């Protein structure tokens, strides 16, 4: 499998203007991931540059877009230059597109790697679910933690009446969600993996606003299947990988929890 890590500067104000001109704003909500999804698809082709992640330093006017692609920067830029929209050219500078090979041979079983990962930890319901006064239909996408709480509410009440303590906090539920999505390709080191950042974030999908979890993990994993791990990097982790989620940014492996870096800055 051919894979390349790419880096592309993004002019943030120009991105917002481009998105607004395309009608990618709903009741004052601008979804940068949605705008980038459309911009990258129109410039490079559908699914060519994904998964990706936009990193924005505090008070910066330019963000850094990282991601994975099957082709090197030179080929991507050459193909895009022939069709680049002049307005899109104000957002991205093709001359600044850079890439680094990530061949499958770079990974081996037992290899320990650090990672920084932004995800939307959601699940699709296999059956209808009642949360408070709201009922979610089968197939609906919901927060993995809220689904866990709703599914175990009756059991937790029974355990409480019996004098037992149980249940899992948000961190534990999300870590289990992540573990299941890496299973078969890599093992998480639970002592060196943490939920570094969490917030509720509105996104736009099919013209509708959707509220849900936005979580960033910092941690360490061990590769168990090199071929599967390479495929995991290429497809991303979880859902919404075409909108700025699910990209495994690899780091040196950590030895102690105290040595882990602070949370990465994201786009607004």
Would you write out the chain's pLDDT as a tens digit for each of its 268 residues? 789 999 999 999 999 999 999 988 877 889 999 999 999 999 999 999 999 999 999 999 999 999 999 999 999 999 999 999 999 999 999 999 999 999 999 999 999 999 999 999 999 888 887 777 778 888 888 899 988 888 776 455 544 443 444 457 999 999 999 999 998 999 999 999 999 999 999 888 877 888 899 999 999 999 999 999 999 999 999 999 999 999 999 999 988 775 444 444 566 4
Both 125 and 236 in a single domain? Answer: yes
Region of residue 21 (left: phi > 0; alpha: psi -120 to 50; beta: else): alpha
Both 53 and 77 in a single domain? Answer: yes
For residue 266, being part of any structural domain is answered with no
Q: Which domain holds residue 37?
A: 4-102
Both 94 and 142 in a single domain? Answer: no
Both 243 and 161 in a single domain? Answer: yes
Both 69 and 176 in a single domain? Answer: no
Both 93 and 181 in a single domain? Answer: no
Both 38 and 149 in a single domain? Answer: no
For residue 265, being part of any structural domain is answered with no
For residue 194, being part of any structural domain is answered with yes
For residue 147, being part of any structural domain is answered with yes
Give the domain CATH number at 62: 3.30.70
Both 122 and 255 in a single domain? Answer: yes
Both 189 and 247 in a single domain? Answer: yes
Rounded Cα distance between 94 and 97, Å, is 5
Question: Domains in the chain: how many in total?
Answer: 2
Both 95 and 126 in a single domain? Answer: no
What is the pTM for the complete model shown? Answer: 0.87
């Amino acid at each position: 499998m051919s894979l390349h890590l790419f880096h592309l500067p993004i002019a943030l104000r120009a991105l917002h203007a481009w998105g607004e001109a395309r009608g990618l704003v709903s009741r004052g909500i601008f979804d940068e991931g949605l705008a980038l999804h459309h911009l990258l698809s129109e410039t490079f082709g559908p699914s060519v540059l994904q998964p990706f992640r936009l990193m924005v330093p505090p008070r910066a006017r330019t963000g850094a877009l990282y991601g994975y692609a099957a082709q090197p920067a030179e080929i991507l830029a050459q193909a895009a230059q022939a069709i680049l929209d002049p307005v899109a050219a104000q957002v991205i500078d093709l001359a600044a597109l850079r890439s680094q090979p990530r061949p499958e041979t770079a990974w081996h079983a037992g290899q320990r790697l650090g990672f920084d990962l932004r995800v939307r930890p959601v699940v699709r319901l296999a059956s209808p679910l009642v949360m408070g006064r709201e009922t979610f239909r089968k197939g609906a996408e919901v927060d993995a933690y809220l689904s866990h709480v709703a599914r175990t509410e009756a059991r937790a009440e029974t355990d409480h009446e019996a004098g037992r303590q149980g249940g899992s906090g948000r961190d534990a539920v999300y870590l289990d969600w992540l573990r299941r999505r890496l299973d078969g390709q890599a093992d998480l080191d639970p002592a060196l993996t943490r939920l570094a950042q969490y917030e509720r974030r509105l996104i736009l999908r099919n013209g509708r606003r959707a509220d849900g979890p936005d979580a960033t993990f910092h941690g360490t994993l061990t590769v168990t299947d090199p071929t599967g791990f390479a495929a995991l990097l290429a497809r991303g982790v979880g859902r919404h990988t075409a909108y700025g989620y699910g990209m495994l940014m690899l780091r040196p492996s950590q030895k102690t929890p105290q040595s882990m870096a602070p949370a990465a800055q994201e786009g607004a």
